[in-house]
Structure 1
C-alpha cells in the first residue's frame, strides 16, 4: 500500500490552514448602507395632473399666457414710524408737589385733549417746611407744659392748697394748647401733601393722542420740571426710511411711497416731507428720508417697524424707471407646507404640471418672477388651489 507517513500529512494540513487564514485577512468587509431607497422617483414625475374635460370645467380652471412686461423699478425697505415733530409733548411738574391720581395711566393709552391726568398738590419751599415743623414742635411742647400745670393745680386743690380758679385756668390752657397743636399738624399735613387738603393743580392733556411714556408713579413727591408723561398726537405720523444714497437721485421730489404694516395689512400712501435729509448712517451708505402718512384711525404707533415700497426713476433721474420683467398673476402662486412657491403650467390639453418658481417682488396684483417659468408658458390662475388639492388627495 502506498501512503504517506503521518508526519507529512500533518504538515500539509497545517500549510493549508495558514494559506486560508492569510487570504481572509486580505479581504475587506463589504460596507452595508443603513438605509436604502428603492425605485426612486424624480420630483417632476410627481407634479403632473391629468384630469377629464368635465373635471376641468367643474374646477373652473382658467389660464393666462405669460409675457414680459415693463415693470416699475421699486425698492422694498424698512421704515420706522415716528411722531410728527411739534405734535409730541412732554408734560412736566410746574412746581414741587405730590401727585394724585394717574393710577390707570399706562403707555399706549389713548387720551383726549383736556383730560385730567394728574392732580398736583403743591409743596412749600424747604425753608417754609422747616418753619412749619418748628411751629408744630413748639405747639407740642406747649401742650405738654399745660398738662403738667393742670396736673399740679389738681393736686394742690386736692390737698386744699390750691384754688378752683387756678385749676379752671389750667384746664383752659390745656384746651388752647391742644387746639394750637391740631391746627399746626393740619397745616403741616396739608403743606406736605399728606392729606386731601391744599389747593391741587390739575395736570391736563394739551392734545388728543397716545401716551408714549409714563415717567413717574402716582402718589409720589416730585420736584419742579420733573418729567411726568410723554404724549404724541397720531392723526398724522412720519415714517423714517433709511434709503441707499445711490437711490436718492432716483427718488423724485414729489414721489410718494407705499407704507405697509409688517403683518400684511393694507398699504397707505406716504407723501414726502418738505424737510432736509437728516445725515447718513456711518458704515451703511444710507441717508434718512421722511414721509408723512395719514393715521386718523391711529393704526400706526411711534416706534413701529413698517415695510416701504419706493418707486425709482432711471439712473439719470428721468423717466419712470421701468424695466422688462416676467410677471404672473398673484392668484397663480401656491405655497407648499415648507414655504416653496409653485405654479401649474398647462403642458397639454387637460394636463397640468406643477413647477417651482421664485418670486422677486409684488407689483400691484402681479408678481415679478425671477426664475422657474418662461415667457409663453400657460399658467393656471383660477382653479390652481383646486388642482393642488386634487394632486395631494384633498379634492375629489
Structure 2
C-alpha cells in the first residue's frame, strides 16, 4: 500500500514538472515581441538649386482714386463694391441736366457770335472800299475793322466755352481708366458730389479706389553684402541683351507656395544708408486674382546656373537634441542608428543635407516614436 502511494506521488510530481515546463515554454513564445515596423527612405542625389530668401509684401502695379471732375447729384452707380471691371466700364453717372443746359447755352452763344462776325465782316469789307473813296472817315474805318476783329475773337471764346461745357457733360459719366478691382464706393445715389481737381484733391473727394491686379509686385530689400553675391544675376534687368536665369518663387503667409514663377522687374539705384540694403521689386502674373496688394510673404531667388546634385531629407524625419540635428539611420541588418547631420536650406517639405549622410543611406521616415538606437526593425514600403 505504501509503495502504491509513493508511486502515485512520484507520478503526480513528474506530471506537475512537465506541465510547468510546457507552460513556461508557451509563455516564453507568447511574450517574444515582434519587430517594430517603420517606413524608410533611400537617399539618392537630385538637382538642388541654391536660393536666397527675402521677406517683403505684395503691392499693386497701379492703384488710383477715382475723383470726379464735375460736381452734382449722383444719379447712378453701375457696379457693386469689390467688383472686377474692365477698362472703359461705366462706374458713375452724375445728374447731366445742368451740363446739357450749359452745352445748349454755349451753342446759342456761339451761333450769336457767328452772326455778329458775319455782320462785322461785311461792314469791314464795305469800309475798305469806302475809305479808298474817302466816303468815310478814318475813325469810322477803324471802328469797322475793330468790330470785325472783336467778333472774330469772340468766336474763339464762345467755341472754348462750348468745348468746356461739352467736357463737363462728358465728365458727368465716370469710366474705369484701366481694368482692375474696385474698392468700396464712398458715395451713394442721391448724394451731392463736389469736384476738386488735383493737386487739391483729397480722399474726401474720392468716389472709389481702383487697383490693377492681373499682375502684382513683390517689394523686398536685399542686404548690401547679399546683393553683391547675386548682383551679376540681378543686374541683368538693366541689360536686355542678357538672359535672366533666376528661379523666383513666392511663399505666402500661410506657408503655401504660389504656383507661378516670378521675375525681377526693377532694382533700386542706391543703397539705403540707414538699413544697408537696396530695394528690389519682383513681378508675378496674377490673372487668377489669387494675390492681393499688401500680403506678407517670403520670396526665394534660386540661381539655376548654380544647380548641383545633393541629398534631400523630409523635415518630418529630423529630430534634435543638445548635440544638434539627427536622423534615425538603418544599417544593412535594419539596426537603428542615431546619425547626426548638418543641414542646409529648406526646399518645400525637405531640407538639404550638407554632411552626415551619403547616397544610398536609408533613414526612417515613419514610425520614429516606436524605435530607439540599437534595436532591429522591420522595413516596410521603402521610399526612393
Structure 2: 5+ residue stretches without partners: 1-32, 103-168, 198-204, 237-243, 373-384
Q: Contact between 1:242 and 1:287, CA under 8 Å: does it hold in 2?
A: yes
Q: Distance in 2 between matches of 1:290 and 1:216?
A: 32
Q: Contact between 1:79 and 1:305, CA under 8 Å: does it hold in 2?
A: yes
Q: Contact between 1:235 and 1:298, CA under 8 Å: does it hold in 2?
A: yes
What are the within-5 Å matches in structure 2 for residues 1-396 of structure 1? 52=35, 56=37, 61-65=39-43, 72-84=49-61, 87-100=62-75, 105-106=80-81, 108-121=82-95, 201-211=172-182, 213-214=183-184, 216-219=186-189, 220-224=191-195, 225=197, 226-249=205-228, 250-251=230-231, 252=233, 253=236, 254-256=244-246, 257-267=248-258, 268-273=260-265, 275-311=266-302, 320=305, 327-330=311-314, 333=317, 343-347=327-331, 349-352=333-336, 360-363=344-347, 366-369=350-353, 373-375=356-358, 378-380=361-363, 384-385=365-366, 387-388=367-368, 390=370
Cα separation, partners in 2 of 1:343 and 1:66, compared to 1, 3 Å: farther
CA RMSD of aligned residues (A): 4.3
Deviation at 1:285, TM superposition (A): 1.0
- Scaled by the length of structure 2, the TM-score of the pair is 0.51
Cα separation, partners in 2 of 1:206 and 1:380, compared to 1, 3 Å: same
Deviation at 1:289, TM superposition (A): 1.3
> Which structure has more helix as a fraction of its residues?
2
Moved more, 90-99 or 111-120: 111-120
Q: Contact between 2:59 and 2:294, CA under 8 Å: does it hold in 1?
A: yes
- SS, match of residue 226 in structure 2: helix
Cα separation, partners in 2 of 1:322 and 1:331, compared to 1, 3 Å: same
Q: Distance in 2 between matches of 1:116 and 1:51?
A: 75
The alignment of Structure 1 onto Structure 2 pairs a total of residues equal to 247
Partner of residue 316, structure 1: none
- Scaled by the length of structure 1, the TM-score of the pair is 0.50
- SS, match of residue 349 in structure 1: coil
Q: Distance in 1 between matches of 2:186 and 2:78?
A: 10
Partner of residue 105, structure 2: none
Deviation at 1:245, TM superposition (A): 1.8
Deviation at 1:301, TM superposition (A): 1.0
Deviation at 1:286, TM superposition (A): 1.0
Q: Distance in 1 between matches of 2:270 and 2:172?
A: 43
Q: Contact between 1:360 and 1:370, CA under 8 Å: does it hold in 2?
A: yes
Q: Contact between 1:261 and 1:307, CA under 8 Å: does it hold in 2?
A: yes
Q: Distance in 2 between matches of 1:333 and 1:302?
A: 36
- SS, match of residue 89 in structure 1: strand
Q: Distance in 2 between matches of 1:291 and 1:115?
A: 30
Cα separation, partners in 2 of 1:294 and 1:117, compared to 1, 3 Å: same
Cα separation, partners in 2 of 1:389 and 1:280, compared to 1, 3 Å: same
Q: Deviations over 1:24-56 (max 9, x none)?
A: xxxxxxxxxxxxxxxxxxxxxxxxxx963xx64
Q: Contact between 1:98 and 1:123, CA under 8 Å: does it hold in 2?
A: no
- SS, match of residue 288 in structure 2: coil
Partner of residue 167, structure 1: none
Deviation at 1:258, TM superposition (A): 1.5
Deviation at 1:202, TM superposition (A): 3.4
Q: Contact between 2:336 and 2:371, CA under 8 Å: does it hold in 1?
A: no
Deviation at 1:293, TM superposition (A): 0.9
